[in-house]
Structure 1
Amino acid sequence: MNAFRFLVDIRLDDQLHEAVALGDRSQPPHRDCHRKQCVTVTTLCLAVACVLIATLGSPAIASAASYDDAVQQFRNGEYAVAAETAAFEVDRGVWSERWPRLLIQCQMTQGQHAAALQTYQEALKRYPTSIALRYMGLDVLRFNGLQDEVGQAEADLFSQMQRAFAGYITRDNLIAAGRFLTGRGEDAREVLEQFYDRVKERDPDYLDAYLATAELAIRKGDFQVAADTLQQALRLEEETPELHQLLAKALESSDGQAAAEQIAIALRINPHHLPSLQWLAERAIDRERYDEAKDIVNQMLQINLHEPSAWSLLAVIAHLDGEYEVEKLMRAAALSTWEQNPNVDHLIGKKLSEKYRFAEGAEYQNLALSADPLHIAASFQLAQDMLRLGEEEIGWEIADEVAKADPYNVVAYNLMTLRDRTSKFTVLKQDGIQVRMDAKEAKLYGDAVLELLSDAKRVLCEKYDVMPDKPILVEIFPHQNDFAIRTFGLPGGAGYLGVCFGRVITANSPASQGERPSNWKSVLWHEFCHVVTLEKTNNRMPRWLSEGISVYEERQRNPSWGEKMTPQYRSMLLSDDLTPVSDLSAAFLSPPSAIALQFAYYESSLVIEFLIEQHGHDALLAVLDDLAAGIPINDALTRHTGSLQRLDSQFDAYAKERANQFGALADWSRDTLPENGDLATWKGWTRAKPTNYWGLRELAKSAIEGGQWEQALIPLSRMQQLGVLTGERGGPLEWLARAHRELGHGRQEIRAIQDNLAQSSDALPALRRWINIGQSEEQWENVLDASQQALAIQPLLPEFHLASATAAEKLDRHDLAVEALSALLALDPVDPAALHFRLANAYDEQNESFPAKHHALMALELAPRYRDAHRLLWKLHHGVSDEDPATANQAGVEEPDAVRVPAIEEEETL
């Protein structure tokens, strides 16, 4: 019988000694003990369940009010005041281990490690049975450089846990024991259920049980459980910054704005809360606001001059600034109090990897693992770094080891599960590019993917004077969650179409994007441009520059690709939403809305246009070369474009000029716009303001919603004259085409469709309509062009392959016909025999007799009485033209009718 299931029903107080004895002699080991101690968490949990007695709800000691006040002082950041209070109580000999523990906490927070060691050693003499005190003492020893004594201290702690669980144990000791066992890598679920959950069951108002549970969930990557637990803890209404800081960590991967709000609350409670200040400093680094990050770090060091995370972040900033000697000094300072602290190198490496410095990040994770080979977080970060560097064999091996060592690590589990699914992907190779994609999708458009990427490599590598010296891996996922797990480690990431890590690209396939997918060609061109620029700069470039070049190169490749000017972007360029060039990367992190993020892409591309127009493409290349040499972006821009202040000012004027050029004759004011209005209201309003864009748009929208197409044409035609019709989804150009269609205006509809396609890379409904028009009018060039554009958006639907095949056959473009017909065969067609016959004809037209015979035979295998296939096979076999029967007769060859076919009615094919 499982020990934990058995514990559910025992009476904890009456059967205490019997249950402990049973647990000691009857339960098998949980796992092989990997440290010196051989007693496992299972045995300890058995005893824990037996001794959670009434002490959890015991009366407070006489000095509780004073102690609670001191704790609140500590929570509010009044560390010196709380330490003075605690020291007074310790000195006067109050019998409560909580006072020396509070004093140690104050001293360690302020970096007074020697004083904390003295307090700990004296307290241990008085309270040798305290698990919480001994657990706290482990860090005291470490930060005093007494690493050799830590092993014995851990052994003593474990022994004391065994003795304590056979008798009296308090809730704080129980939580400390759970944290200790978690740090040792013991079973997370058992720690949760048998330590933290049981404390909460006995005392639902004990905050530390919730905090410990959340810490454990965050450690395992289960942020939803952490957030739910902390939301429960909020109902306790305790003023503690730890709760809000942990909630921020739980929320930041899914809701950055909510996470920032929680940090603000934590710092309102305690302006000196070190973990919250560290969170702010890290976010400032993410936004490339390094001076701001340094200011925050300085605040941390004023609280604790020896704070390792503060010095670690300074090392990160020094590295990003190219000050490598300073980086070494900062790292040394971070390790000055605990030389083997693995968290220092893990933090430095993690932040560098977040800046796409995966090689440097991996080096730091290896340093962390040399200090602590069992550091799970460092191992998993190293696995991620290797995978993003394209070192897949090593990366998957390490990830597998982490998953086995830490079975409750959600991120590792997700990644290994994904590996099993992607092992079935088809692998395509060409020009040093390796593409992995779903087998069925590979048949449909895998060759087109390879062709596009090879072209991108040729064009962009030449333009930016760089050539990757290692293979480039591209993975295309048919399920959005798989893409997110491969890219971010967790499901989610909605809105991302592709991500490039350097030589590794991950992308969502059209199958994961619903009815209106984005143009996959545009996405892959964008991401491959990242490959080129990251390679050129050794991954040393700010995000705005990388994204700006990629969007700019999209438009250079195809004017319909990439972000373009819209009325909303015009308004944002002319408002405070325009971000200075020197601060552009911040616009990509935690944007307030989806449109704000899209605008950041557009603005960044506009900066690239500005730089090239004003300083030339060579100046841009020189900036990238400087970045590769380790020169910070601001210095590189100054060297080749002038001062940053001047650059910001010039770009501001350039952006506003571009905005004003768009719809220069239109009225863009919103001052007197009606808040709500019907068709009549908008008619009257636009009569007074006939060139106001917003009024005309609302009038057209109201008319369309009412099905009044003639009325809709009036404002839409006026907007067309003003040059403000744009091709966004569900936008005015789609309205205009629809209105002309409803009114039977064929030519005008075609013109609106063409205008829409010139501005939009993913206008699938417009392409579908253009194909239908072309087929009805037998304009096969238009059909072929439109169907090829449609396949760049949605290659998974038969209709576009069929249209392409028919148009290609009509135009004698038999190479394209073969591509389209082959794709149709992969889509489970209703009449595969007919497709094989058409393929045989297409190959025959290209004088490829072997595949032609193969497909003719396949058609006959599926439909043995298929007369046209018999005739084609006869012709292929005899090598004569069925258009010249006289030649065949002169050669003494029987005509096709002599082929042995049963004399019954010929089967029809669909």
Structure 2
Amino acid sequence: MNATGFQVDERCETHRDAQQAQQLLSLNSASSAWASNRSRQWLARLLLLVLLSFITSTPTAIAASYDEAVQQFHEGQYDAAAQTAAFEVERGVWSERWPRLLIRCQMVQGDYKDALQTYQAAIQRYPTSIALRYLGLDVLRFNGMQDEVGQAEADLFSQLQRAFAGYVTRDNLIAAGRYFTEQGEDAREVLEMFYDRVRDRDPEFLDAYLATAELAIQKGDFQVAANTLQEAQRLDERTPDLHHLLALALEPSDGQAAGAQIQTALQINPRHLPSLQWLAEKAIDRERYDEAKDIANQMLQINVHEPSAWALMAVVAHLKGQYELEQLMRAAALAHWSQNADVDHLIGRKLSEKYRFAEGAEYQNRALSMNPLHLSASFQLAQDMLRLGEDEIGWEIAGEVAKADPYNVVAYNLMTLKDRTSKFEKLQRDGIHVRMDAKEAKLYGDAVLNLLSDAKQVLCEKYQVTPDKPVIVEIFPEQSDFAIRTFGLPGGAGYLGVCFGRVITANSPASQGERPSNWKSVLWHEFCHVVTLEKTNNRMPRWLSEGISVYEERQRNPSWGEKMTPQYRSMLLSDELTPVSDLSAAFLSPPSAIALQFAYFESSLVVEFLIEQHGHDALLAVLDDLAAGIPINDALTRHTGSLQKLDAQFEEYAKRLAHQYEGLADWSRDTLPESRDLATWKGWVRLNPNNYWALREMARAALEAEQWEQALVPLTRMQDLGVLTSERDGPLEWLAQTHRELGQERREIRTIQENLAQSSDALPSLRRFIDIGQSNEDWNNVLDASQQALAIQPLSPEFHLASAVAAEKLDRHELAIEALTALLELDPVDPAGLHYRLAKSYDEQDETFPAKHHVMMALEIAPRYRDAHRLLYRLHHPNSDQEEKSP
């Protein structure tokens, strides 16, 4: 197609774009003051010309020396790149890219005055450059020229309105898109009108991909950002910005992959400030505050004025209780741009990530006082309020953000969730507010309140805490809803509950598949967080918070909480044992699910060790110190001795526990056979009869082959060695199954009981125990097992039915009423029969009114129900001898 034909087709294609541009360039209220209706029509024609001229007039490649200078900049050779750029500017080369590159070199190194001089000279020579004017806005800000910024923005906007002579470059279109994004314009239109347009016409232009990814990350659409950047990697993998943005996109789903991208960015440019900031933030997350300060100092060696470095120093000072130093660091961050709202937003965000939501909210309010349109600060403030239990304020702010920024994925998800959870049932008792699905509330809402009230009484007394505000507990039947409420985005698989202080979010059993965890254990664990976070004003490291909660689970019920397993034994004896002084790092980006679970277990052992060695009062004293702002390592030193000594003593303690667990078993794995067939294992076990791993694998192979007699041999041997364990699909479950298949019911019962004593969520074992109890009419065992099963799965009719039958047989009518009422909520086959049984149970407790109600309900469903008629007659004639009460 000839050039003329191409232009005609393109004019048709871009007609819709011009219409969109007319809406886009209406801008915000300030911009609208500049743009009349006539000028908006003119702008539409302008953007049409821009798009056409961009298509037909792609700029020619400039000298190779520019590419070399840009690569020097990407590699952190800022002085060399600046020297080259300055030479070209001084000799008068006609290209606006040279002064822009020089300004970038000067700004990244904090040479703000030089950057201002470069900008002022360049804008006189290139007054039509949108990219230069956009870059100049920060130059003016960091030179304290806030009054001039407003005029510069007006000039930039006017330049967008002015007829261009020639073509519009890719750089100018990308800069215009970034400017409109900062002004809060419609993200989709910015994407389509600027970034997509550039990418369509020049698929090799990297900056268009970076700008697209920046926009997607800002809106919380991390998948789009990751896809865009992975596509861009084919263009130029020697650009640190690409890898840094990819790390931000990957971080919510894969922390390890994100870290690898940051390392790649720093290999390209060891002086890349955004990547160094990422590392400093992660060091803070791991409570490696000295390391964070070292990285911040590296940033300051590049740019002594770098606001993010000083802001992170302020965060570290706050977390160490050095509040005067914190204010000095903040002042340094704002020294050159006093209205830089990003500084307070960053400080507040990091404090909130450390569960300091009240302090974080204060900083977000400061950021908003500088820039009321800072949507990131507004949304962070909304989340802080929600996590502080200030729901009315939190939801209002979140709604405002969602309205102002309709493409913010996190805000949209949160507001959609609000609509769904508005139908939740609200239960209250003893200062505890529970919100849960209405049907689930009827099934086990009272049990939730009972458990939480008990937890409040026991744990608040133990830790000397008196909450002065309600504790809010939200239980979600959909895992995705739990994740959105908790993390802002779908994901978070593996988390059963999260506590933010006075707010607990938890997954209900409905969201956990066939084998849910024990919800009572989960809520006890989370309420313990409420207590310890309250005691320390949310100033405690994660390892200590988790360690106390797991420890208190075991104190409440020996079957709850993490316990020693063969896997944990191996980890305790290996280099996977983390020193106490570095335990919080074990919770951040663990290499596997088992590594995360081990971090919980090890933390609980540390708490157990501290209490055994120094007493519960010493633990309370450490928590009091944390509340006063004393760092954890200093608090531990004050009450337990030196940290180095504590690390050494705990390592000795942990290894001693691991060796005590060994029993008589051989735990070596070096010479295990590679073959996994049963015959090989049988032969190897004959020569190594005490090897735990060989016995386990032989048992597994025999079970898979359904050779029950063969399976009994290694399992019995493991039992003799004292190493049978209760993990899901583990040896105790295997042994019980083997006894069942061999018809050894008594042995099966003993094995099931042993498993139940160790496991809090052994649902298959409980189901089997109920079946055996019903067959043997052992109603005490049936009632006990069904109650344990309901602490795991309260949504299953079979366990409520078993509980009801056993309770009726044992004259435990209060429990029968509870179970029968739940069954009525589970779409029963015979509702009339359930109402009749409820009426009888209420009658047995001499509660005539509810008895009459339920017998009438039975007759309404089944009018000829004779037993119900007789019961109704007797309820109305209590002195009649027509019928005696049934036993």
Coarse TM-score class (shorter-chain normalised): over 0.9
CA contact (8 A) 1:12 1:51 kept: no
2:3 aligned residue? none
2:422 aligned residue? 423
Indicate yes or no: 2:27 matched with 1:37.
Answer: no
- Counterparts of residues 232-311 of structure 1 (less than 5 Å): 232-311=231-310
Please report the RMSD computed on the Cα atoms of aligned residues, expressed in angstroms. 2.0
CA contact (8 A) 1:129 1:164 kept: no
1:565 aligned residue? 564
Structure 1 pair 93–61 and aligned structure 2 pair: CA distance change class (3 A): farther
How many angstroms does 1:294 deviate by? 0.8
1:780 aligned residue? 779
Structure 1 pair 749–404 and aligned structure 2 pair: CA distance change class (3 A): same
Separation in structure 1 between the aligned mates of residue 692 and residue 401 of structure 2, nearest angstrom: 58
Structure 1 pair 47–509 and aligned structure 2 pair: CA distance change class (3 A): farther
CA contact (8 A) 2:18 2:45 kept: no
1:894 aligned residue? none
Separation in structure 1 between the aligned mates of residue 230 and residue 485 of structure 2, nearest angstrom: 29
1:900 aligned residue? none
Indicate yes or no: 2:211 matched with 1:212.
Answer: yes
1:98 aligned residue? 97
Structure 1 pair 164–86 and aligned structure 2 pair: CA distance change class (3 A): farther
SS at match of 1:578: coil
1:476 aligned residue? 475
Separation in structure 2 between the aligned mates of residue 398 and residue 103 of structure 1, nearest angstrom: 41
CA contact (8 A) 1:466 1:535 kept: yes
2:636 aligned residue? 637
Separation in structure 2 between the aligned mates of residue 857 and residue 62 of structure 1, nearest angstrom: 89
- Counterparts of residues 121-200 of structure 1 (less than 5 Å): 121-163=120-162, 168-200=167-199
CA contact (8 A) 2:53 2:166 kept: no
Separation in structure 2 between the aligned mates of residue 342 and residue 821 of structure 1, nearest angstrom: 58
Separation in structure 2 between the aligned mates of residue 776 and residue 42 of structure 1, nearest angstrom: 84
Separation in structure 2 between the aligned mates of residue 19 and residue 688 of structure 1, nearest angstrom: 81
2:541 aligned residue? 542
CA contact (8 A) 2:24 2:186 kept: no
1:108 alignment partner AA: M
2:243 alignment partner AA: H
Which ranges in structure 1 are unaligned for 5 or more consecutive residues? 1-8, 889-910
How many angstroms does 1:11 deviate by? 3.7
1:702 aligned residue? 701
Greater shift, 164-173 or 587-596, is seen at 164-173
How many angstroms does 1:239 deviate by? 1.0
Separation in structure 2 between the aligned mates of residue 190 and residue 709 of structure 1, nearest angstrom: 67
1:809 alignment partner AA: E
Percentage of identical aligned residues: 78
CA contact (8 A) 1:12 1:49 kept: no
CA contact (8 A) 2:50 2:168 kept: yes
Structure 1 pair 883–678 and aligned structure 2 pair: CA distance change class (3 A): farther
Separation in structure 1 between the aligned mates of residue 79 and residue 697 of structure 2, nearest angstrom: 63
2:434 aligned residue? 435
1:525 aligned residue? 524
Structure 1 pair 779–606 and aligned structure 2 pair: CA distance change class (3 A): same
How many angstroms does 1:27 deviate by? 6.6
Separation in structure 1 between the aligned mates of residue 774 and residue 15 of structure 2, nearest angstrom: 86
SS at match of 1:457: helix
Separation in structure 2 between the aligned mates of residue 250 and residue 767 of structure 1, nearest angstrom: 44
How many angstroms does 1:51 deviate by? 2.3
2:403 aligned residue? 404
CA contact (8 A) 2:540 2:632 kept: yes
CA contact (8 A) 2:72 2:78 kept: yes
2:391 aligned residue? 392
2:324 aligned residue? 325
Structure 1 pair 511–62 and aligned structure 2 pair: CA distance change class (3 A): closer
SS at match of 1:609: helix
2:690 aligned residue? 691
How many angstroms does 1:238 deviate by? 4.0
Which ranges in structure 2 are unaligned for 5 or more consecutive residues? 1-5
Separation in structure 2 between the aligned mates of residue 692 and residue 431 of structure 1, nearest angstrom: 53
How many angstroms does 1:663 deviate by? 2.4
Separation in structure 2 between the aligned mates of residue 430 and residue 102 of structure 1, nearest angstrom: 64
Separation in structure 1 between the aligned mates of residue 351 and residue 476 of structure 2, nearest angstrom: 27
CA contact (8 A) 1:388 1:501 kept: yes
How many angstroms does 1:168 deviate by? 2.4
2:749 alignment partner AA: I
CA contact (8 A) 1:56 1:171 kept: no
TM-score, with structure 1 as normaliser = 0.94
SS at match of 2:417: helix
Separation in structure 2 between the aligned mates of residue 471 and residue 275 of structure 1, nearest angstrom: 40
- Counterparts of residues 380-779 of structure 1 (less than 5 Å): 380-779=379-778
Structure 1 pair 32–583 and aligned structure 2 pair: CA distance change class (3 A): closer
Separation in structure 1 between the aligned mates of residue 143 and residue 851 of structure 2, nearest angstrom: 80
CA contact (8 A) 1:48 1:195 kept: no
How many angstroms does 1:629 deviate by? 0.5
1:896 aligned residue? none
Structure 1 pair 153–450 and aligned structure 2 pair: CA distance change class (3 A): same
How many angstroms does 1:676 deviate by? 2.0
1:905 aligned residue? none
2:796 alignment partner AA: L
1:33 alignment partner AA: S
CA contact (8 A) 1:12 1:53 kept: no
- Counterparts of residues 823-842 of structure 1 (less than 5 Å): 823-842=822-841
CA contact (8 A) 2:379 2:401 kept: yes
Separation in structure 2 between the aligned mates of residue 138 and residue 821 of structure 1, nearest angstrom: 70
Separation in structure 2 between the aligned mates of residue 557 and residue 206 of structure 1, nearest angstrom: 62
CA contact (8 A) 1:502 1:534 kept: yes
Separation in structure 2 between the aligned mates of residue 14 and residue 379 of structure 1, nearest angstrom: 41
How many angstroms does 1:467 deviate by? 1.1
CA contact (8 A) 1:56 1:170 kept: no
2:35 alignment partner AA: C
The CA deviation string for residues 164-211 of structure 1, in whole angstroms up to 9 with x for no partner, is 568621110000000000000000000001100000000000000000
Separation in structure 2 between the aligned mates of residue 341 and residue 192 of structure 1, nearest angstrom: 26
How many angstroms does 1:562 deviate by? 0.5
Separation in structure 2 between the aligned mates of residue 206 and residue 843 of structure 1, nearest angstrom: 77
The CA deviation string for residues 281-310 of structure 1, in whole angstroms up to 9 with x for no partner, is 000000001111111111100000000000
How many angstroms does 1:21 deviate by? 9.5
1:740 alignment partner AA: H
Separation in structure 1 between the aligned mates of residue 11 and residue 799 of structure 2, nearest angstrom: 76
Separation in structure 2 between the aligned mates of residue 568 and residue 17 of structure 1, nearest angstrom: 63
Separation in structure 2 between the aligned mates of residue 237 and residue 207 of structure 1, nearest angstrom: 7
SS at match of 2:445: helix
Structure 1 pair 639–12 and aligned structure 2 pair: CA distance change class (3 A): farther
Separation in structure 1 between the aligned mates of residue 415 and residue 720 of structure 2, nearest angstrom: 57
CA contact (8 A) 2:53 2:168 kept: no
SS at match of 2:668: coil
1:794 aligned residue? 793
Separation in structure 2 between the aligned mates of residue 467 and residue 333 of structure 1, nearest angstrom: 39
Structure 1 pair 379–46 and aligned structure 2 pair: CA distance change class (3 A): farther
Separation in structure 2 between the aligned mates of residue 62 and residue 52 of structure 1, nearest angstrom: 20
Structure 1 pair 100–689 and aligned structure 2 pair: CA distance change class (3 A): same
1:79 aligned residue? 78
Structure 1 pair 164–626 and aligned structure 2 pair: CA distance change class (3 A): farther
CA contact (8 A) 1:23 1:43 kept: no
CA contact (8 A) 1:45 1:195 kept: no
1:110 alignment partner AA: Q
TM-score, with structure 2 as normaliser = 0.96
CA contact (8 A) 1:16 1:51 kept: no
Structure 1 pair 90–27 and aligned structure 2 pair: CA distance change class (3 A): closer
2:628 alignment partner AA: A
